[in-house]
Chain A
């Protein structure tokens, strides 16, 4: 028997093994060299030690036959990994998510070095949020350490972890759109132009940015064999560990100071009455109280104050918000909760994550990855339809793509926040009315319950797909 399988399009560059899925399980093919290495590391428990420390995703070797695959197609021995149900990318993470992923990489590298191993590369795409904690998923990145060898992943670590973090911590610029613009991360030379002379006083800027950029400029065009120099110099593990410690020190001292998060402010200075707020909270809780849903997508989640409190049978919450500060705040709250798996995502629904990379298939778009069976869209409609000029019917179609059941809040033109949005622009939104919104909803859903709040300027609706 051969089960239906599909190869993950993001792992095709790895010559040692490709990830594939089958029956909801995650497997990886193994080249001969990868199999030899993994067999040794499994037998001598080095892999298990990394798994036990919760740094590495639980994985084990198995035979293709045992799980029902044709060995001619997948090889005699394959690796099975524990499944991470939701995949989010580094450009959808907040500052502290990327910071934690960076520290995980450095800690894992240090543990590897202590066991005579090394990480071949250093990209945040090797890390996923799993059970509310960052975990390393690319087991084949673990290789034998050879004395005198440099860390091949150093430049990649700088481009994909250190520089985006510096951009946000030192210059106050959120890194997400920069990382989304360049899958290989930020260049040392670009960052070097961005940092002023005064920035040299900030940890790591002179060495890892300016000096690296200067060395790159000076030698990259010269035909010199730099790698040989490491052997000549007897480059030791201790020297490599010093660099790891230095990077960790720099990253640990970095702090996220969001300057302009209107959404966190909004949550604190909520202009609405507390009793109305309570009504809203109760309505949402009741709407999901008896549901058999498994995954809810909270659109415009803010700090997740409504979705986090839903029925305990709902096991997964995907919280999407365009404000990195809100998602960062939510991420810290998630770490304290063990009742559900939370996936905070920084995404502006008006400019969602596109498909990227080789053949536009290497990295999937937001809609290919993030799906639920229910949704929550509270205080979102005016941002999308007035703030973003999106027709109401398109907004309703978007809701449907995230689930068949949900709660959506209507925010009318008489609402204080909408009036604020329209204060300095002409009102071209003649069809932005409750009656038209209701007809749009009824085109795709059955409207089962409506509750008026804020003197009718807002309405909470429970909808079920037809």
Chain B
């Protein structure tokens, strides 16, 4: 059930995470590096799922 799955995901959204990531990004070059690393993990997770 895609719809119910979506509802569950939204219910568990952490609204503070965007703010934390933004603070990393505004923190400077090192922060951008950490963010890219997190993104790389995210991209890898797509492939591991499939």
Contact = CB atoms under 8 A, between A and B. Distances in A.
Interface of A: 150-152, 154-156, 158, 187-188, 207-208, 211-222, 224, 226-227, 229-230, 232-235, 239-240, 242-243, 246
Interface string B2-44: 0000000100111111111111111110110110011101100
B45 A243 contact: no
A227 B34 CA distance: 11
A306 B19 CA distance: 46
A249 to B, nearest CB: 13
Contacts, number: 95
12 contacts: A155-B15, A158-B19, A208-B22, A212-B19, A219-B18, A219-B42, A220-B15, A226-B20, A226-B21, A233-B24, A233-B33, A239-B28
B27 A219 contact: no
Given A229-B38, A233-B34, A235-B27, A212 B13 contact: no
Contacts of A230: 20, 23-24
B18 A155 contact: yes
Contact of A150 (B15, B23, B37, B41): B23
Given A187-B15, A218-B42, A224-B41, A243 B26 contact: yes
Contacts of B22: 154, 207-208, 211-212, 215
Contact of A219 (B9, B26, B38): B38
A221 B26 contact: no
Interface residues of B, number: 28
A219 B21 contact: yes
Contacts of A208: 22
Contacts of B14: 220
Contact of A155 (B12, B16, B24, B45): B16
Given A154-B22, A226-B20, A216 B27 contact: no
Contacts of A218: 39, 42
B27 A233 contact: yes
Contact of A151 (B12, B23, B33): B23
A233 B31 contact: yes
Contacts of A215: 17-18, 21-22, 25
